[in-house]
Amino acid sequence: MSRRADRWARLIAGEAQGACDRLAVGGLRALSVMYGGALALHLAGYRIGLARRTRLPALVVSIGNLTVGGTGKTTAAIAVARWLTERGKRVAVLSRGYLAEGEGGTVVVSEGFGPLATVEAAGDEPYLLAQALPGVFVLAGKDRRKAGRLAVDKFGAEALVLDDGFQYQRLVKDMDIALVDALAPFGYDFLLPRGLLREPPEHLARADAVWITHADLVRETDLEPLRRKVQELAPGARVWEARHAAVRLRRLAEQEEVGPEALRGRRVLALSSVGNPAAFERSLEREGAVLVGRARFPDHHPYRPEELRDLTAGEGASAEWIVTTEKDAVRLPVERLARPVWVMEVELAAREGWPSLGQELSCLLEAKRKQ
């Protein structure tokens, strides 16, 4: 993580020390107030009809959250797209394409047969979606109205899944699913940049469903008050608790695959540039890995050769494996790594004791039809 990003992380986490840090926190708080005012004006425009939403002739399902990164939106979008495909729908996923070279327009990342664009042109998340979703169209672009219209008119899409769509107001959405990360639910309770919130927590009331992710990684004593808080903020929403289940490990750039049990007792260096690295690291430990190092980089980080050469020095020197995320895997130059690199593949699943994902989506869809 860069020094600037690290300092910001310490400031918003309440680790400010000294007069300069306290002054910086005050400045961040002032910027948060300005951000909140601009957000309120933006949403008011839609509420009073000054700005209009576009309705497309397809089922539109949005997956999003209140905070910056880390809740597992892309994993959830994959799960929802697969479920819709299994129900016979012709599905397209629409992604923002963060840091994509082609984000000025619409990039057709996949027509259902794997990536057509490079990871640089598409962005890492759309590229991952294209890899993970055979039979599904994937389009990336800032204007999801334009991308959605293309998906419907050119590819005959009957269902559109918005990856990171909770804040996107320009489309009429049939289902708005908001994710709340059990490990860091409300972004230090401040709007950006003083905290991690994109919107105030009370805006969760806009959701049709709230999925509490990483629910298996916290104690029940922490989960119960979060559950009550979510139900208080979104009394009309269905609440579901989920986990990111490890399904396999795949060796990067090789055909080899092993089950997650191969992590038991293995000395591992965790490598990630995701919104919530702690969730990834706890998942590794849950599978029995012995973490001898944690290499954390900012979300969507473009890895440089010198950074990768340094991974196996210091605390990572005793690592048998480097294990990374699926999103990181599409950006890693394999030839720069001195240890075997394994990618932990995960799927969104119900927390023990809760209905399956398919059951939850069926109930949600039926409830929306009755409205």
Model pLDDT, residue 371: 83
Name, in order, each residue with C-beta under 8 angstroms of 362's C-beta and a sequence gap of 6 or more. Answer: none
- With 0.75 as the threshold, say if the pTM is over it: yes
Q: What is the pLDDT of residue 145?
A: 97
- Cα 139 to Cα 7, 91, 241, 248: the distances in Å are 35, 11, 29, 27
- Segment 205-211 mean pLDDT: 98
Of 102-111, 122-131, 355-364, give the lowest mean pLDDT range: 102-111
Which two three-digit tokens encode residue 101? 């070279």
Sequence letter at residue 363: C
Report the residue count for the chain: 371
pLDDT tens track for 23-52? 999 999 999 999 999 999 999 999 999 999
Classify domain 245-347 at the CATH topology level: Rossmann fold (3.40.50)
The alpha-helical segments, DSSP class H, found in 62-193 are 73-86, 119-122, 124-132, 144-155
**Strand, helix or coil for residue 304:** coil
The pLDDT of residue 103 is above 60 = no
pLDDT at 335: 67
Tell me: the pLDDT tens digits for 277-295? 999 999 999 999 999 999 9
Q: Does 218 have pLDDT greater than 70?
A: yes
CA 351-233-205 angle, to 5 degrees, is 95
Same fold, 59-243+350-370 and 245-347: yes
Mean pLDDT estimate for the chain = 92
Q: Which tokens is 209 given?
A: 């469903």
Q: What is the per-residue pLDDT for 237? A: 97
For residue 307, what pLDDT is reported?
A: 80
- pLDDT for 306 equals 78
The terminus-to-terminus CA distance of the chain in angstroms comes to 47
Q: Comparing C-alpha atoms, which of 279, 170, 169, 277 is closest to residue 217? A: 279
Per-residue model confidence as pLDDT tens digits over 156-198: 999 999 999 999 999 999 999 999 999 999 999 999 999 999 9
According to the model, what pLDDT value does residue 275 have?
87
pLDDT of residue 219: 95
Domain ranges of the chain: 3-47, 59-243+350-370, 245-347
Assign 313 a pLDDT band (cuts: 50, 70, 90): confident
pLDDT tens for each residue of 42-98: 999 999 999 999 999 999 999 999 999 789 999 999 999 999 999 999 999 999 987
* Residue 111: count of CB within 10 angstroms of its CB: 16
Question: What superfamily in CATH does domain 59-243+350-370 come from?
Answer: P-loop containing nucleotide triphosphate hydrolases (3.40.50.300)
Per-position DSSP letters for 256-287, written without gaps between them: -EE-GGGGTT-EEEEEE-SS-HHHHHHHHHHT
Region 316-323: mean pLDDT is: 90
| pLDDT for the residue numbered 338 | 67
Q: In the chain, which ranges are continuous DSSP H helix?
A: 3-12, 18-47, 73-86, 119-122, 124-132, 144-155, 220-233, 277-286, 305-309, 326-329, 357-370
What's the confidence (pLDDT) of residue 105?
84
